[in-house]
Amino acid sequence: MAEATVLEQVVLGIVWKRGPCTSYAVCKEFLDSPSSHWSGSAGAVYPLLRRLDQRGLVRATAGRRGHRPSTTYVLTAKGRAALRRWLSPPIDPAAAETTYDPIRTRAYFLGVLTAAKRRAFAEEIEALLEHQVGVVEAECERYRRAGDEFSRLAMRGAVHEVRARLTWIRELKAALKKESS
C-alpha cells in the first residue's frame, strides 16, 4: 500500500531470500554483486531496515555481538505480501522502458568525433563488452552451482542483454566502416 522505493523492495527481497539477517549481510549482498547500480552503503541500508521495521514489513530482533548490539531482521507476513504485490500484475509499465545504457548515451554524440576516433570508440567498447560477456556468464554458472534457479534465470537476462549490446556495437562498427569508405 505504502509507497516504497525500489531499493526498499530489493532489500525486502534479500531478507526473504536470505532468511533472518543483519543490515551488514544486506550490504554485503550489494557489495558482492557485479552490478554497481546500488553501492550497498551502510548509510543507505542501516536506516532503511529500521524504516522497514517501523512499517512492520520486517521484524527486528536485538542480539549481541561481543558487547556491541547487533540487530537481526526477519520478513513479516506483511513484508512478504508487499514483496508479492511488487512482483504481481499490474507491473509498473515503466519497468519495461528502455534501460539506461551509458554506452548508448555516449553514442548519440559520436558525430562530434573524427571518423578515426569514432572507430577507436567502437573498438574500445567492443573489447569491454566482450569481457563483460564472460563476467555475466560466470555469474550465471555460480548461481547454477548454488542451486538458486531464479537468480540464475534472472542473470540469464543479463547474458542476453550484454550479448545484444555486443551485436549492436558490431553493427555500429560496420556502419562506421562504411561511412569512411
Residue ranges binding DNA (CB under 7 A): 5-8, 22-25, 27-28, 38-44, 46-48, 65-71
Report 23-42 residues binding its own copies (CB under 8 A): 34-37
Cα 177 to Cα 47, 118, 128: the distances in Å are 52, 10, 20
Which entry of its own copies, DNA, none binds 113, CB below 5 to 8 A by partner kind?
its own copies
Work out how close the CB of 36 gets to DNA at its nearest, in angstroms, rounded to a whole number.
Answer: 8
Cα 121 to Cα 14, 72, 107, 161: the distances in Å are 38, 48, 9, 20
Give the residue among 81, 80, 65, 67 at the shortest CA–CA distance from 25.
65
Q: Is 163 in the site for its own copies (CB under 8 A)?
A: yes
Please give the helix or strand (H or E) that residue 99 lies within, else none.
none
Work out how close the CB of 140 gets to its own copies at its nearest, in angstroms, rounded to a whole number.
Answer: 11
In terms of CB distance, is 34 or 134 closer to DNA? 34
In terms of CB distance, is 23 or 30 closer to its own copies? 30
Cell numbers standing for residue 36: 554497481
